[in-house]
């Protein structure tokens, strides 16, 4: 076996494949010593490992020595080749394939020109804007480039430009989070917190204004309480709900405030 292709075992699989794939794609060759097609495929995978060094890693797993993993990843015939990225399988093929098919398989995993430009932009902040524009020219819908360029536009105060860039990746969770951050950052107070707190006791509109003001000063826990109460009134329901959802996006689904307030929001909406 070539030194560039590493053997993994049941004990090292989680680290060498699953976790490693979160930074670099990992191609796993599920094989066995008695398998003729496996021996034919092996040098082709070694060639690809050499050609895509630094972009894609290749490892081998002997299914005879790791039957549990073979079953877990539904290996029904060998050679079985599975590509891991981000901790899970993203593509695969079974059996000996033509060289052109294997090349395409690896090329799809390797970083694109736009991917490389985005990475370069992160390493060279002074030149980032120009590099990101090049990335978008090469791949107009590149999510990472659009989000990074939107971040620069936002820092420069070009909020409309930032929104326009983020609107081009509407399904991106990160883009939605940045848009929510921008909306929350524009939330202001129509009076002092003390005054709004007093008025909130008797008016749903004041509760909404109080919640908005609390968001603006970063008192998110109290803001969530006030906004949930404002959701309970039809007059302020829609705006309070929108503010709460933006707050959830910014904090994240696992944040304690989100976990506590989301069920309360649902109850208020359907009460």
With contact defined as beta carbons under 8 Å apart, do 63 and 11 qualify? no
Count other C-beta atoms under 10 Å from residue 73's C-beta.
19
> Has residue 14 got a pLDDT over 50?
yes
Residue given tokens 């991106």 in the structure block: 172
pLDDT band, residue 190 (cuts 50/70/90) = low
Q: For 150, what's the count of Cα atoms within 13 Å in the CB-facing half-sphere?
A: 23
> Has residue 266 got a pLDDT over 60?
yes
Q: How much is the pLDDT for 185?
A: 80
Residue given tokens 């302020």 in the structure block: 236
**Lowest mean pLDDT: which of 93-97, 162-166, 184-188?**
184-188
* Its pTM surpasses 0.75: no
At 67, is the secondary structure helix, strand, or coil? Answer: helix
49 is catalytic: no
Edge-to-edge order in the sheet of strand 26-31: 6-8, 57-62, 26-31, 80-85, 88-94
Tell me the domains of the chain and their CATH numbers: 6-109 (3.40.30.10), 113-185 (1.25.40), 193-269 (1.25.40)
Q: How much is the pLDDT for 196?
A: 80
- What number of residues does the chain have? 271
> Has residue 181 got a pLDDT over 60?
yes
Residue 256 phi/psi, 5-degree rounding, is -60, -40
CA dihedral 258, 264, 268, 271 (to 10 degrees): 150
35 is catalytic: yes
With contact defined as beta carbons under 8 Å apart, do 30 and 75 qualify? yes
Q: How much is the pLDDT for 86?
A: 86
Q: How much is the pLDDT for 1?
A: 46
**Lowest mean pLDDT: which of 9-13, 32-36, 211-215?**
211-215
Q: Mean of the pLDDT values across residues 171-194? A: 80
- HEC states along 36-87? HHHHHHHHHHHHHHHHCCCCCEEEEEECCCCHHHHHHCCCCCCCEEEEEECC
Short-list 30, 23, 87, CA closest to 57: 23
Q: Mean of the pLDDT values across residues 49-53? A: 92
How far apart CA 207 and CA 222 sit, in angstroms, is: 11
With contact defined as beta carbons under 8 Å apart, do 29 and 89 qualify? no
Region at 218 (left for phi over 0; alpha for psi -120 to 50; beta for the rest): left
Catalytic residue, from 35, 41, 128, 196: name it.
Answer: 35
Q: Mean of the pLDDT values across residues 134-141? A: 93
Catalytic residue, from 5, 17, 27, 38: name it.
Answer: 38
Q: How much is the pLDDT for 191?
A: 60
pLDDT band, residue 189 (cuts 50/70/90) = low
Q: For 75, what's the count of Cα atoms within 13 Å in the CB-facing half-sphere?
A: 23
Residue-wise pLDDT tens digits, 205-227: 888 888 888 888 888 999 899 99
Q: Mean of the pLDDT values across residues 56-64? A: 95
Angle separating helix axes 256-269 and 220-231, nearest 10 degrees: 10
Percent over 70 (pLDDT), the chain: 97
């Amino acid at each position: 076996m070539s030194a560039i292709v590493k053997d993994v075992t049941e004990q090292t699989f989680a680290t060498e494949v699953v976790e490693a794939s979160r930074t670099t794609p990992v191609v796993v060759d599920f094989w066995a010593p008695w398998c003729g097609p496996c021996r034919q495929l092996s040098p082709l995978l070694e060639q690809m490992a050499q050609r895509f060094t630094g972009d894609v890693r290749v490892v081998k797993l002997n299914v005879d020595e790791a039957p549990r993993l073979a079953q877990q990843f539904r290996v029904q015939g060998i050679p079985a080749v599975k590509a891991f990225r981000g901790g899970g399988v993203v593509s695969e093929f079974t059996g000996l394939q033509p060289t052109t098919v294997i090349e395409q398989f690896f090329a799809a995993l390797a970083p694109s020109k736009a991917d490389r430009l985005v990475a370069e932009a992160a390493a060279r902040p002074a030149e980032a804007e120009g590099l990101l524009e090049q990335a978008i020219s090469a791949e107009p819908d590149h999510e990472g480039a659009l989000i990074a360029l939107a971040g620069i536009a936002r820092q420069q105060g070009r909020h409309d430009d930032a929104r326009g860039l983020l609107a081009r990746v509407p399904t991106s969770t990160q883009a939605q989070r940045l848009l929510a951050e921008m909306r929350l950052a524009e939330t202001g107070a129509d009076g002092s917190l003390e005054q709004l707190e007093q008025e909130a006791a008797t008016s749903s509109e004041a509760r909404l204004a109080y919640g908005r003001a609390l968001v603006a000063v970063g008192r998110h826990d109290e803001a969530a309480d006030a906004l949930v109460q404002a959701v309970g009134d039809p007059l302020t329901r829609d705006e309070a709900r929108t503010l709460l959802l933006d707050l959830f996006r910014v904090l994240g689904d696992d944040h304690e405030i989100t976990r506590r307030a989301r069920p309360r929001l649902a109850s208020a909406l359907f009460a």
